[in-house]
Amino acid sequence: MRIAVLSGGRSSEHEISLLSGEAVASGLEAAGHDVVRVLIEKSGAWITDGHPVSLRPGEGMEVAGDLLSIDVVFPVLHGPFGEDGVTQGTIDSIGLPYAGSDVLASAVCMDKLTLKRLCGFHGIPQVDFVQAFTPGWEEAAKRLDFPLWVKPSRLGSSVGISKVTDPADLTAAVEEAAKFDPRVIIEANSTGREIECSVLGNQNPDASLPGEILTDDEWYDYEAKYTEGRTRIAAPADLDDEVSGAVRDLAGQVFTMAGCAGLARCDFFVEESDDGGATILLNEINTIPGFTRTSVYAKLWEATGLAYPELCDRLVRLALERHQSESEHSF
> From the candidates 83, 196, 267, 302, which is the catalytic residue?
267
> From the candidates 9, 79, 100, 290, which is the catalytic residue?
290
Q: Is 265 a catalytic site residue?
A: yes
> From the candidates 265, 297, 302, 322, which is the catalytic residue?
265
DSSP 98: B
Tell me, what's the pLDDT at 29? 98
Q: Is 95 a catalytic site residue?
A: no
Q: pLDDT (tens digit, 9 = 90+) per residue, 145-162?
A: 999 999 999 987 678 899
Q: Is 290 a catalytic site residue?
A: yes
Q: pLDDT (tens digit, 9 = 90+) per residue, 38-94?
A: 999 999 999 999 999 999 999 999 999 999 999 999 999 999 999 999 999 999 999
> From the candidates 12, 157, 189, 208, which is the catalytic residue?
157
> From the candidates 286, 295, 308, 322, which is the catalytic residue?
286
Instruction: From residue 245, give the alpha-carbon distance in Å to each of 18, 190, 207, 289, 307.
Output: 34, 21, 9, 22, 22
Residue in 234, 245, 118, 220 with CA at minimum distance from that of residue 163: 220
The CATH T-level fold of domain 193-325 is D-amino Acid Aminotransferase; Chain A, domain 1 (3.30.470)
Q: 2-99: which CATH architecture?
A: 3-Layer(aba) Sandwich (3.40)
Q: Is 284 a catalytic site residue?
A: yes
Q: Domain boundaries in the chain?
A: 2-99, 128-188, 193-325
Phi/psi at 296 (5° precision):
-55, -45
The answer to whether residue 227 scores a pLDDT higher than 60 is no
> From the candidates 181, 284, 302, 313, which is the catalytic residue?
284
The CATH T-level fold of domain 128-188 is Dna Ligase; domain 1 (3.30.1490)
For residue 222, give the amino acid letter: Y
Distance (Å, rounded) from C-alpha 163 to C-alpha 166?
A: 9
Strand pairing class (193-201; 66-67): unpaired
Distance (Å, rounded) from C-alpha 268 to C-alpha 252?
A: 13
Going through 41-104 in order, the beta strands assigned E by DSSP cover 46-48, 51-56, 60-63, 66-67, 72-75
The band of 230, judged by pLDDT with boundaries at 50, 70 and 90, is low
For residue 44, give the amino acid letter: G
Distance (Å, rounded) from C-alpha 75 to C-alpha 78?
A: 9
pTM over 0.95: no
**Sequence-separated contacts (24+) of 113-119 with Cβ below 8 Å:** 113/153, 113/183, 113/185, 114/153, 115/258, 115/284, 115/285, 116/185, 118/257, 118/258, 119/254, 119/257, 119/282
Q: Which helix (H) or strand (E) holds 22?
A: helix 14-30
Q: Is 302 a catalytic site residue?
A: no
